[in-house]
Amino acid sequence: MKKTILGKSDILVSAMTVGCWPFGGGDYWGEQSQADVDNVVCMALDRGVNTFDTAEMYNGGESERSLGKALGSRRKEAVIISKISPSNCHHVRKHCEESLKRLGTDYIDVYMLHWPINKLALEHFTSNHSIIQIPPTVEEAYRQLDELKKEGLIRSVGMSNFGHTQMEEVVNTGVRADVNEMPYNIVSRAIEAEIAPYCMENAISLIGSMGLQQGLLAGIYKTPGDVPCHQAHSRHYPDYRGGGTSRHGEEGAEKEIFDVVAQLQALSSDLHVHMAQLAIAWILKKPFIVSTLVGSRNLKELEMNVEACSLEISGEVEALIDKVSLPVLRILGNNPDYYEHSSKSRIY
C-alpha cells in the first residue's frame, strides 16, 4: 500500500482512506454492525490501510465512537482524520476534547474544519441565529486549531470543502494547513480547474472524498430511478430525484452520467477488473491526489477496494476515461459544491 507524506507534516497516509461515515449506524446509511466495523478496521490495518476519516457530526458522534472501539490497542498504527462543524468554531477546544473522548484517544492526527465558515454553510449545521449572524471568523477558528496542535492534541491542521479563495484565507492566517479534503471522482471533477493547482503550488495535499460517488461508480445502480432519493439530491441528478431533499433546482446530468457508467462497465470488463476498482485506480493516477476516501462496510468491499490501490492503469486508459466523462464535467462545471445551485455555492 503506497503511503504519502501529508502536506508539510510528518504524517504518512495510505493511498486509500476508509470512509467511516456509516460506522455507528444512522439514518443516511442505515444500520452498521460493530462486528463488521471491527473486522474492516483490523483487516485494513493488516493490509496497510492506515487512514480513517470521520467527523463529529457523523451519526451524532457514533461514527467516532465506533471507530475508537474498533481501533482499540492498535490506535498508534492508525491515522485518524476528524472534523469540526463550522458552527462550533467559537469553541474549538471543547469540541475537539469531545471527539477525543468518543474516539478513546489522547490525540487526533488530522483535525479539519468540515466546511468553510459562511452563512449558507452554517445554516446546514445550526438553527442558532446568533451563530449565523455573528459567526466565528477564519482567524478565530485556525488560531484555536493551531493552539491545539502546539499542545499535542492534534498533529496536523486541515480543511474540508474549501475553495480557492477560502484556502487563501487560511494561508493568510499564518497557520499551516496540510490538507484539503474535496469530492473527487470520475463524474465529480470540479477541483481540477483551480483547487488542485493551488494545492500543488502551496504544498497542500488533496484527499478525495466520494471516490465511488456513493456506490454509483461501483455499478450498483442500473438506472437513475434505482438511486435512493437521499443519495440523488446532488446536481448530478435532476432536482426531482431527491424526493424533496434536493436544494439545487437544476436539471442534472443523469443521462450523461449513466452513459459514463455504461462505458466504464464495458471498459472494466475488457480489462478484467471490477468497475469500482477501475474508478479508484483512475483517481489514484492523478498526481494531485494523495489518497481517496472509499467506504468499506464489510470485508468483501474492503478487499476489493484495497486491491484497486495496486491496480496500474495506462495513460491511454486514463485519457479515455477523461474523455468519456468530459460531457458530465461540462454540464456540472467547476463548482465543487454539488448540493447547491451552481451560482449559489458554499465553496468559492
pLDDT band at residue 31 using 50, 70 and 90 as cut-offs: confident
Asked if pLDDT for residue 25 goes beyond 90, the answer is no
- State how far the Cα of 216 lies from the Cα of 224, in Å rounded to an integer: 9
SS3 string, the chain, reads: CCEEECCCCCCEEECEEEECCCCCCECCCECCCHHHHHHHHHHHHHCCCCEEECCCCHHHHHHHHHHHHHHHHHHHHCEEEEEECHHHCCCHHHHHHHHHHHHCCCCEEEEEECCCCCHHHHCCCCCCHHHHHCCCCHHHHHHHHHHHHHHCCEEEEEEECCCHHHHHHHHCCCCCCCEEEEECECCECHHHCCHHHHHHHCCCEEEEECCCCCCHHHCCCCCHHHCCHHHCCCCCCCHHHHCCCCCCCCCCCHHHHHHHHHHHHHHHHHHCCCHHHHHHHHHHHCCCEEEEEEECCCHHHHHHHHHHCCCCCCHHHHHHHHHHHHHHHHHHCCCCCCCCCCCCCCCC
Report pLDDT for 22. Answer: 87
Q: Which residues pair with 158 in a beta bridge?
A: 112, 179
Report pLDDT for 86. Answer: 96
Report pLDDT for 339. Answer: 96
Report pLDDT for 57. Answer: 94
Q: Which residues pair with 12 in a beta bridge?
A: 5
Asked if pLDDT for residue 266 goes beyond 90, the answer is yes
Phi and psi dihedrals of 90, rounded to 5? Answer: -70, -25
Asked if pLDDT for residue 221 goes beyond 90, the answer is yes
Percent of the chain with pLDDT over 90: 91
Which residue reads 481540477 in cell numbers?
192
- State how far the Cα of 46 lies from the Cα of 67, in Å rounded to an integer: 16
Report pLDDT for 26. Answer: 77
* 106: Cβ contacts below 8 Å, ≥ 6 apart: 100, 153
- Note the pLDDT tens digit of each residue in 303-341: 999 999 999 999 999 999 999 999 999 999 999 999 999
Q: Does this model's pTM top 0.85? A: yes
Asked if pLDDT for residue 157 goes beyond 90, the answer is yes
Better pLDDT: 216 or 25: 216
Which residue reads 462543524 in cell numbers?
85
Asked if pLDDT for residue 29 goes beyond 80, the answer is no
Count the neighbouring beta carbons within 10 Å of the beta carbon of residue 268.
18
- Note the pLDDT tens digit of each residue in 97-151: 999 999 999 999 999 999 999 999 999 999 999 999 999 999 999 999 999 999 9
Distance set, CA 138 to CA 9, 133, 212, 271 (Å): 21, 15, 31, 47
Of 138, 122, 141, the C-alpha closest to 130 is 122
Which residue reads 471543547 in cell numbers?
94
* CB crowding 240-259: b at 16 or more within 10 Å, else e: ebbeeebbbebebbbebbbe
Report pLDDT for 32. Answer: 80
Q: Are 247 and 262 in contact (CB under 8 A)?
A: no
pLDDT band at residue 296 using 50, 70 and 90 as cut-offs: confident
pLDDT band at residue 28 using 50, 70 and 90 as cut-offs: confident
* 320: Cβ contacts below 8 Å, ≥ 6 apart: 267
Q: How far is CA 38 from the centre of its chain?
A: 21
- Note the pLDDT tens digit of each residue in 57-83: 998 999 999 999 999 999 999 999 999
Report pLDDT for 151. Answer: 97
Mean pLDDT of the chain: 95
Residue range 153-182: mean pLDDT, rounded: 98
- Note the pLDDT tens digit of each residue in 84-97: 999 999 999 999 99
Q: Which domains does the chain possess?
A: 3-223+276-313 (3.20.20.100)
